[in-house]
Chain A
Amino acid sequence: MFHALVAIKQVPDTTNIRIDPVTGTLVREGVPAIMNPYDAHALAAAVEWKRKLGGKITVISMGPPAAITSLREAIEMGADRSILISDRKFGGADTLATSYTLAQVIQAIHAQDPIDVVFFGKQAIDGDTAQVGPGVAVRLGWPILTYTIGIRNIDLENRRLVAERKTERWVEIVEVPLPAALTCEKDIAPIPYAPLPDLLRSLRYQPEVWTTESGHCTFDPNQIGIKGSPTVVYKQGTPPLPTPGEKINAREIGTAEAVRHALDKAVASGVLKSILGGA
């Protein structure tokens, strides 16, 4: 029976971000929180394979209590069990501390109920680092395939998985032994429109909550949260405004004149010379 574990993160919808013009900090209120889109596609892929092979999906998320809504959404999308990993002591974690915390949880679950594949989204749209997936895999000692755009086969009997990875220059078909980890591109699976029974189940589902003291799993206090984070934000600010150049109104002086003026400037800067060559 296939057991997949999907790690998700709830993130602010970065297409809707606003910066407070006075303080220079993020305006967080009113920004909707969503399941990281890459994680959603990763979960969709896991669900596809659960339907093919039979089995179950456990979803975990390290985050604040608000992440419960995304964990319910995961049930709506087809997960069987979802777990919130939340504790003040996890706060301020960078990618190293995060991968530690997640790896501890995954190992605890794996010990009870062996996992075949761990799915991650390729990156979170707020942090954009893409580091946690590989970090967790290294800690577990499992192989990882990033930028996965498709899974060709999961062979539970022979313990092998074949997937497609997309790099800048080509697509690789790679085979890894199970258990394995994947980070996924959006292409890996479309988000399905959940069947009504799954939606209703998610509305009534209460995710489990694991803390440092709930007894589900042990955490070394020196490796979680701020204590376990080598990197800290030293300072933060808005990008400096560049000095604007000259603006020519083609409607006033005519297109030909405007273009001539612009090209003259380019020539004067030396750029055109080096492109077109010659004196």
Chain B
Amino acid sequence: MGVRRFWAFIEQELGQVHPVSWELLGVARRLASQVEDEARAMGDTVAVEGILLGHEVEPIAHEAIKYGADRVYLLDDPVFKHYRNCPYAAGITAIARKYQPEVFLIGATTLGRDLAGAVATALRTGLTADCTGLEMEEVKGSPKKLLLATRPAYGGNILATILCRNYQPQMSSVRPRVFPMPPYNPEAQGEIIREDISISEEEAKACILEFIHAKGESVNIEYADVIVAGGRGLGGPEGFKLLEELAKELGGVVGASRPCVDAGWISYAHQVGQTGKTVRPKLYIAAGISGALQHKVGMQNADFIIAINNDPKAPIFDVADVGIVGDLYQVIPEMIQQIRALKEAKA
């Protein structure tokens, strides 16, 4: 009786969990359920497990269980207090060798991308980065279902599906907001296993001398419910002031397509798209954005998309739920007014 383990890396910094970790638990649960029947037939069980490193972070392990982990492996030691490549990679590699997970998912954040390649190489296994699709499927020649990992390539012009056949664990990194948050069950029960790994400071190699936090407002558009985004059609940086007004009315944030960031109209933190952030807001309003593929891949999973563009042939209209062909400098003010009216009516 074997256990088929589906792992998610629980990323935390300074005691704060990156929500992508929960999204990954959701994916792990879905993948595990896709092989449940097959496992049973072979006399195996499946398990969704989290792996967490840090110092004094046990509460996070409990949260992981509430997001669906059957079990959490906890490496709690001062050497893991701040993320550093060497100790984290060494710790995870040791635990992975011990428990032999079948699938291992890591969030494609800066930390995750620093870590994933090192772990995959240490484990001598395959890693598919920035996956937008993950499924356990039957593959010819394999007795068990395998992980099919889909990712965009060549600037998003091609979707490639990657297979990692004879190596374990099958590893994938996933960008935040590509998959939805799993349900949260405050009553959920699970196991927390403290693993003893000793890594000396010398083995840790790196020494963090200082943290410099960004001055001014720190924007995180990834988890916003409403995004009002502007593109080249704005014609200049002042256009964003108008979008900011609309965003405020809706309790949302401002986003931007890449040309605006490249032109210096707005900072990179607002960039939506392949080389920016992937977002899944409830409402995405695209003003003056043509809708090139590299932008689309960053926002096409929004629940509801309104596009405004002067050009009826703009590709953004292909992905919008409703599109308005017109001048955004007339449409947006009108929209602000009508939203205000709607809010007053409710009040």
Contacts and interface: CB of A to CB of B under 8 A. Distances in A.
B263 interface: no
Contacts of A276: 250, 339, 342-343, 346
Interface string A131-149: 1111111110001111100
Contacts of B218: 169
Nearest to A244: B318
Given A232-B163, A242-B318, A274-B282, A128 B129 contact: yes
B159 to A, nearest CB: 5
Interface stretch (A1-9, A52-60, A81-89, A94-102): A94-102
Contact of B158 (A26, A129, A261, A278): A26
B154 A126 contact: yes
A271 B211 contact: no
A19 B208 contact: no
A92 interface: no
Nearest to B323: A247
B211 A232 contact: no
B118 interface: yes
Which of A139, A236, A266 is packed against the most chain B CB atoms within 10 Å? A266
B161 A233 contact: yes
Nearest to B128: A231
B313 to A, nearest CB: 10
Contacts of A203: none
Which of A15, A138, A172, A255 is packed against the most chain B CB atoms within 10 Å? A138
A138 B122 contact: yes
Nearest to A31: B154
Contacts of A229: 126
Contact of B211 (A127, A171, A255): A171
A230 B210 contact: no
B31 interface: no
B145 interface: no
B196 to A, nearest CB: 22
Given A135-B117, A266-B304, A96 B125 contact: yes
A269 interface: yes
A147 B165 contact: no
A52 B121 CA distance: 34
Contact of A14 (B86, B155, B159): B155
Nearest to B148: A234
A156 interface: no
Interface of A: 12, 14-15, 17-19, 26, 94-96, 99, 125-139, 143-147, 162, 166-177, 229-239, 241-242, 244-251, 255-256, 258-263, 265-267, 269, 271-272, 274-279
Which are the 7 A-B pairs with shortest beta-carbon distances? A250-B326, A230-B126, A131-B117, A134-B117, A135-B121, A231-B126, A230-B167
24 contacts: A12-B154, A17-B157, A96-B124, A128-B130, A129-B117, A129-B130, A134-B85, A135-B118, A167-B111, A172-B208, A174-B208, A175-B208, A229-B126, A234-B162, A236-B158, A239-B159, A244-B323, A250-B324, A255-B334, A259-B331, A259-B334, A272-B342, A274-B282, A276-B250
Interface of B: 13, 84-86, 89, 109-111, 113-118, 120-122, 124-130, 139, 148, 152-167, 205-214, 218, 220, 225-226, 250-252, 282-283, 293, 297, 300, 303-306, 312, 317-327, 330-331, 334-335, 338-339, 342-343, 346
